[in-house]
């Protein structure tokens, strides 16, 4: 089963999508298998990260922004604004696809793990997430 999800991101940062992905897995009725995710963008990414303490998410966001700052005079690709090239670099450093095992009909995530779309553009927008569930 393959399903495309439209994910609205209000702006830069980590946006949890575990509930939406888990719903696709339930709909597929697969007891054991693999859930593969792919984000169809070059300025957003995917990550499995802690979903219990919001400070972990905040620290990751601040750390990546410090690692890849806006306004570096080295960047030439800025057609869509000062966050344009930094967003592409952040996506290249993280992941555009993930795979999560399915056990007993559910995502086999740990107790404090969640699936996140990591929006790297300040303005956010609608992101396309392709979910493949297979046995």
pLDDT of 134: 97
Percentage of the chain exceeding pLDDT 70: 100
Percentage of the chain exceeding pLDDT 90: 99
Where residue 8 falls among pLDDT bands split at 50, 70, 90? very high
What's the mean per-residue pLDDT of the chain? 97
Name the pairing type of β-strands 13-16 and 106-107.
Answer: unpaired
pTM for the model stands at: 0.96
Residue range 15-64, pLDDT digits in tens: 999 999 999 999 999 999 999 999 999 999 999 999 999 999 999 999 99
Helix or strand or coil: residue 71? coil
Residue range 111-127, pLDDT digits in tens: 999 999 999 999 999 99
Q: Compute and round to an integer the Cα radius of gyration of the chain.
A: 16
CA distance 75 to 88: 11
Burial class of residue 3, CB neighbours in 10 A (0-12, 13-18, 19+): middle
Nearest to 61 by CA among 120, 17, 16: 120
């Amino acid at each position: 089963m393959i399903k495309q999800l439209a994910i609205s991101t209000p702006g830069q940062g980590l946006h949890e999508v575990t509930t939406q992905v888990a719903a696709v897995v339930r709909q597929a009725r697969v007891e054991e298998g693999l859930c593969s995710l792919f984000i169809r963008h070059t300025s957003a990414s995917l990550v499995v990260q802690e979903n219990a303490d919001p400070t972990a998410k905040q620290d990751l966001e601040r750390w990546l922004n410090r690692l890849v700052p806006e306004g570096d005079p080295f960047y030439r690709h800025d057609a869509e604004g000062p966050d344009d090239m930094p967003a592409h670099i952040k996506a290249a450093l993280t992941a555009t696809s993930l795979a999560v095992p399915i056990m007993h009909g559910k995502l086999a995530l740990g107790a404090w793990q969640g699936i996140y779309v990591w929006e790297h553009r300040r303005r956010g927008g609608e992101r396309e997430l392709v979910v493949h569930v297979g046995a």
